[in-house]
Amino acid sequence: MIAERSTRVRTLVRDNFFRILAVVVITGSVEWANNYVDLDRPALSVAAVTLLVTALSIFLVFRVNEAYQRWWEARTLWGAIVNDSRSFARQVLSLLRPIPGDQESERSVRALQREMVLRQIAWINALRLGLRRQDELDPLVPFLPAGEAETLSKIADRPSQLMLTQAKLLAEARAAGQVGEMAQHRIETTMTSLQNAQGGCERIKKTPFPDRVVYFTRFCAWSLAIVIPVALMAKSDGFDPIDYIVLPFMMLAFLITERLGAELKNPFENRPNDTPMTAICRTIEIGLLQQLGEDDVPLSLEPENGVLM
């Protein structure tokens, strides 16, 4: 995610260098052709180009709006995961209680509370890695009992497997009298909410933005980048001075907007404009470890070059 409130000119130029170069080349080529090549003037009128520009503008607005909705829904789902993870830890630490006067039960409950809270940290990281299609287990190992990470290596849906383990442990605690029926139901409700958010993220990940919309918009944007200077050249013998200012900005506006829509449509690809899942997971990890009373807590992730991943 771009963490800077204002985009630096250097960053804007770097990210769109190819488009800026293309605009300069197209504009220069049209001017050169007008001066040195004896060709008939194109019949395309400025009015026709204006109509095309208007149509493409409407189409671009539709595409960027749809892409932004996907991006914002992804961020909303991860916001819900943050809240539900905190609620889950709070419920586990407050609703699981040992049998009064039983020291063994007290030790067992404390160990169970710690195990379940740490497994929740493993769950968020498993979801993050799964959405980014990163087949790694190392980030999960510190939060799981010995051998559980190896078992997960054979599982396709690792977050669901971790949540199933949580549910089994909760059922065992209920059978041992360490959690009441209503308390179990409340924790299960929070776990269901977490898996609903997981399903929402997977729906975004596995439902691709229609390729025809993507390719058609890109084709139209680049076509207009060529047609606009040709049409302006047709209205007079060469460009007016103001054309050298307005024309590049007009062409870049369409090309950059098209690129923005392309980047926002898939928010889980580990790119600068994506949902900052790594940073969100670290935030959840810090909060849950502090609820456990841990002293060795990692620092929050800071943006690198204005980007928070």
Q: Given this model, what pLDDT does residue 46 score?
A: 65
> Is 300 in contact with 282 (CB distance < 8 Å)?
yes
Answer whether 157's CB lies under 8 Å from 169's CB.
Answer: no
pLDDT digits (tens, 9 = 90+) for 99-152: 777 788 789 999 999 999 999 999 999 999 999 999 999 999 999 998 898 899
Q: How confident is the model at residue 23 (pLDDT cuts 50, 70, 90)?
A: confident
What average pLDDT does the segment 53-82 reach?
88
pLDDT at site 205 = 93
Mean pLDDT of the chain, nearest integer: 84
Averaged pLDDT, 33-48: 62
Three-state SS at 137: coil
Asked if 135 and 126 count as a contact pair (C-beta separation under 8 A), the reply is: no
Query: What is the per-residue pLDDT for 309?
Result: 57
Contacts of 291 (CB under 8 A, 6+ apart): 86, 89, 90, 93, 117
Closest CA to 286 of 2, 84, 86: 86
